[in-house]
Structure 1
Amino acid sequence: MKADTATAAAPEAPATTLPAAAIVHAYHASVDGLLADFAFGLKKRGWRVRGVVQQSHGEGKAHTVLVDLDDGFAFPLFQKLGAGSASCSVDPGGVAAASIVLRRALHEGADLAIVNRFGALDANGGGFAAEMLALMSEGRPLLTVVADAYLRDWRWFTGGCGSELPASLPALEDWFAGIVGGRETP
């Protein structure tokens, strides 16, 4: 039996979109404050927002942490590799420890799960990739940040079904309103 090669070779457009979005920004531009402000603003209005945001409590990478939106617990994001190191300084142990926050969002539920970043670790199957895939497979709303350097990886990761948002509060509010179907607060 011969396969229909014309049909098999034609790429299909995504049939649906995921309730997942990434704030797209230029590499080295920071949108961490925007993501955190949006997440904390939703929490103040009564939404169950869970996940981690990236915050700096001083100068340099040593003071940058992942903050649990539920309890404020801070996880280390970078490791000290020494002045001469050219290696990536993201602390995979800190990221692994923080992954419990996203697993809690999956198992206990959330109106929105926040992931501080989709970057090199995630694009290569590490970081929070497993947790993001689990959340998306359950249809849980997910919002992250992606630098334009990783936009192709994000598109591959979501099968082209994730939304791409500009770095603006109105865009985030509009996207979230569409996800929750216009509900005010729970």
Structure 2
Amino acid sequence: MVGMVQSGQCADSSLSAVLVHSGETLLLAQPPSPSTTSPGASGCKLDLSRLQDAGVRVADALAAGADLVIINRFGKRERDGKGLGYLIERALDADIPVVIAESHQSFADWVKFAGGMSVKLACDRHALDAWWRTVSLRTAARIAPDHTTVCEVFK
């Protein structure tokens, strides 16, 4: 399993990503600049170069081999062809399942990006476990050799 998930939040400038394949935490927030910060301003700005650096680390781990890719979310940057969309495309092109969180508002963008090749799961561990059992290569390897697949039946 390779990928990254968000840790921290913009409210206190601790926005980070945890690399799931190594456990390493990488800061993604841009350091606040005293000259541009107005009194009473809150939040943070995503540092796109830090995001891309984190993406390169995930891409390197993906190139080394993966059964599953986890990406925190599919947002406006990915929709616009930026952000971590290239990681998602690499995984999909290699037939590696991708787990990604998506809001209701952006779900249609995700389905369009994925070419309709997606499964909507409930946001709970049981749904994720059941889905993984159906797509896991380990599960497929345990199928008896005399088992006929759907593709074989329709040939």
How many angstroms apart in 2 are the aligned matches of 1:108 and 1:167?
A: 29
Q: Are the aligned partners of 1:67 and 1:75 in contact in 2 as well (CA < 8 Å)?
A: yes
Q: Please, what is the CA RMSD of the aligned residues? A: 2.7
Q: For residues 161 and 86 of structure 1, do their structure 2 counterparts lie closer, same or farther at Cα, with a shift above 3 Å needed? A: farther
**TM-score with structure 1 length normalisation?**
0.64
How many angstroms apart in 2 are the aligned matches of 1:76 and 1:151?
A: 27
Going by fraction, where is strand more abundant, 1 or 2? 1
Matches within 5 A, 1:124-143: 124-143=80-99
Deviation at 1:116, TM superposition (A): 1.1
Q: For residues 136 and 111 of structure 1, do their structure 2 counterparts lie closer, same or farther at Cα, with a shift above 3 Å needed? A: same
Matches within 5 A, 1:117-128: 117-128=73-84
Summarize deviations over 1:2-43 as a string: whole Å, max 9, x none: xxxxxxxxxxxxxxxxxxxxxxxxxxxxxxxxxxxxxxxxxx
Deviation at 1:88, TM superposition (A): 8.0
Deviation at 1:112, TM superposition (A): 1.0
1:62 maps to 2:13? yes
Q: Highest CA radius of gyration, 1 or 2?
A: 2
Unaligned runs of 5+ in 2: 141-155
Matches within 5 A, 1:22-171: 49-56=1-8, 60-79=11-30, 80=32, 82-83=37-38, 89-171=45-127
**% identical aligned pairs:** 24
Corresponding residue SS for 2:105:
helix
Which amino acid in the other structure matches residue 20 of structure 2? L
Q: For residues 161 and 70 of structure 1, do their structure 2 counterparts lie closer, same or farther at Cα, with a shift above 3 Å needed? A: closer
Deviation at 1:111, TM superposition (A): 1.6
Corresponding residue SS for 2:139:
coil
Unaligned runs of 5+ in 1: 1-48
Q: Are the aligned partners of 1:110 and 1:140 in contact in 2 as well (CA < 8 Å)?
A: yes
How many angstroms apart in 2 are the aligned matches of 1:174 and 1:131?
A: 24
Which amino acid in the other structure matches residue 82 of structure 1? T
Which amino acid in the other structure matches residue 63 of structure 2? H
**Structure possessing the higher relative contact order (Cα contacts under 8 Å, 6 or more residues apart):** 1
Q: For residues 78 and 103 of structure 1, do their structure 2 counterparts lie closer, same or farther at Cα, with a shift above 3 Å needed? A: same
Deviation at 1:136, TM superposition (A): 0.3
Corresponding residue SS for 1:116:
strand
How many angstroms apart in 1 are the aligned matches of 2:44 and 2:16?
A: 16
Q: Are the aligned partners of 1:117 and 1:146 in contact in 2 as well (CA < 8 Å)?
A: yes
